Every structure is written in C-alpha cells, then in structure tokens.
Amino acid sequence: MKFYNFVRSIIEALSFQSLINSICDWCALWQLTINVSKCNVLHLGTNNCAYMYHVNNAILQAPSSLKDLGIIMDSALTYRDHIHNVVARARSRCALYLKVFKSRNPTMMMRFFTTYVRPTLEYGSQIWSPIGSLEINALEGVQRYFTNKVPSCRFLPYSQRLLKLSLHSLHHRRMVADQVFLHSMMTGDISVSLSPHLNLQPPAITRGGNLKIVLPSLNYLRSRQNFITRTAPMWNKFNLLNFNFDVSTYVFRSKAITMIQDPFLN
C-alpha cells in the first residue's frame, strides 16, 4: 500500500499521521500484522520539513532513496541511483556471457543481448529516462561495449556497428517508447491520466494538427526530465507533419521508429 500527500505545515503532518493511524486500526480489526521494518517514508523536495511518522509507536525510517516496483527513487527524483544500478546489472550480464559462452556468433550474441540485457536497461524508462549526457552515455556504454565484442564489428565506429547489426541506439529506443506511451494515453489504450499537467493547445486553422501539447513552465533544469517535458516537443513535431494519430499503437510505433532520428547514427 502506498499513499502520499502535500505536507507543508505541522497541521498537515498531523493529518497525514491520522491517515496512518486509520490504516493501523483497520489492519488491527482484520488481524493483519504490519511489518514496520518494511515501511518507509520518502520525503520529496528540497524544502521538505521531513516530519517523522510512526506505525504502532514505531518510528518509520526515512531513507534518501527507495525501490518501488523495481525503480529506485530518490528525494530529488533524479533517478541517478536507479540508472547506475541498471547499468551495473546489465554490464554484469554482458560479462557473464563473455565468460561462460564460447560462441561469438553475431546472431547468438545479439539474441542474448536483446533478451537478457536490453530489457534491464529499458524497464520503466518512461519514468526515469535521462536528459543528461552523463546518464545517457552511461546507459549507451553497455550496448557500445557488447557490440564491440562481436568479432566482425570490433573496433568499428559505434554508428557502423549499429547499422551492421540492425540495431537502434538505446537512447533512440527510449525516445520511441516515450512517444508510444503518450500515444496510448491520448487514444485511451491505457487508463493513465496526467491531468491537469497535460494540457492541449486550442484548435487552430493554421498548419499542423490539433493535438499539440502545451509545454510546462519549469524553473529548474532537473525538472525537465519529467515525462511531458521530454515527449511534448517531438509529439508537436508530428503534429506539424499532419501525422494521423488515429492509428493503432503498433502502427504508431512503426512510424515513430522511422520518424524519430537516432542521434547516435549521425
């Protein structure tokens, strides 16, 4: 169970504690034991007062980062810890293949990479996809390293290795995944709403479609990593091309792969 609230004063902190107490009372009524050691509080924001809360008189721990559904979140929502974690896990899997398997057949190596390594680097990327060059290059470095171990591609430039192995860069794949997820929200294929943060521009008679997204106004650079700010510029470019969004998700994904330029192939 997860719940959250804006806590800007001691009154709101007491209200939040009363919510925790009501859950404890409900669990006690139905004879459900709460494992307090697995309960935590994540305080978000630099100006957070970080009030302490308790469950059955036991103080809840407030770590600087938490793992939720396989994604590590920190108090600033930078996701740096998560990116470092998935990069380390992916590199260990690459090293395992190179150590255990003798075959250097390109087809077998790419099948291993796309089955056991790449999903680790892409799980939930719509949430944590980075905009900083350090994190982007750290993720891309895993595929760059493994493709360089293919005998026929060794020491070739990364862009040529991608073309020879019929691969897209991981950065390109995350960009496509963002647009596909946004398309699914717009068409109602998934029941996720970003209202009131997702706002559309008023319909216009000028060139372009009528599904353009209004870019949020943000003061901090790190805030631009959020999903809407990342995806809206590319989505609006599709509108300028009068792209038909009333298509299936599969068709949209195929179009997005060809329309989005891979930055690592230039």
pLDDT for res 209? 66
- For residue 256, which of 160, 181, 166 has the smallest C-alpha distance? 181
pTM for the full model?
A: 0.88
Report which DSSP code applies to 39. Answer: -
Q: Where are the domains of the chain?
A: 10-63, 80-167, 173-265
Task: Pull the structure tokens for residue 68.
Answer: 């939720």
| Sign of the alpha-carbon torsion through 171, 176, 178, 179 | positive
For each of the chain's 266 residues, which pLDDT tens digit applies? 888 889 999 999 999 999 999 999 999 999 999 999 999 999 998 888 999 999 988 999 999 999 999 999 998 888 999 999 999 999 999 999 999 999 999 999 999 999 999 999 999 999 999 999 999 999 999 999 999 999 999 989 999 999 999 999 999 999 999 999 999 988 888 888 787 778 887 776 666 667 888 888 776 666 778 898 899 999 988 877 777 788 888 889 999 999 999 999 87
The alpha carbon of 109 is separated from its chain's Cα centroid by a whole number of angstroms, namely: 26
pLDDT for res 243? 77
- For residue 79, which of 35, 136, 26 has the smallest C-alpha distance? 136
Task: Pull the structure tokens for residue 122.
Answer: 């892409």
172 touches 262 (CB < 8 A): yes
Q: CB-based contacts of 5: which residues, under 8 Å, 6+ apart?
A: 12, 15, 16, 19
3-state secondary structure of 187: helix
97 touches 112 (CB < 8 A): yes
Cα–Cα distance between 27 and 109 in angstroms, integer?
Answer: 50
73 touches 43 (CB < 8 A): no
82 C-beta neighbours (distance < 10 Å), count: 22
Q: CB-based contacts of 190: which residues, under 8 Å, 6+ apart?
A: 181, 184
> Radius of gyration of the chain from Cα atoms?
23
Instruction: Give tens-digit pLDDT for 159-193.
Output: 999 999 999 999 999 999 999 999 998 888 888 87
pLDDT for res 247? 86
Report which DSSP code applies to 59. Answer: E
pLDDT for res 208? 61
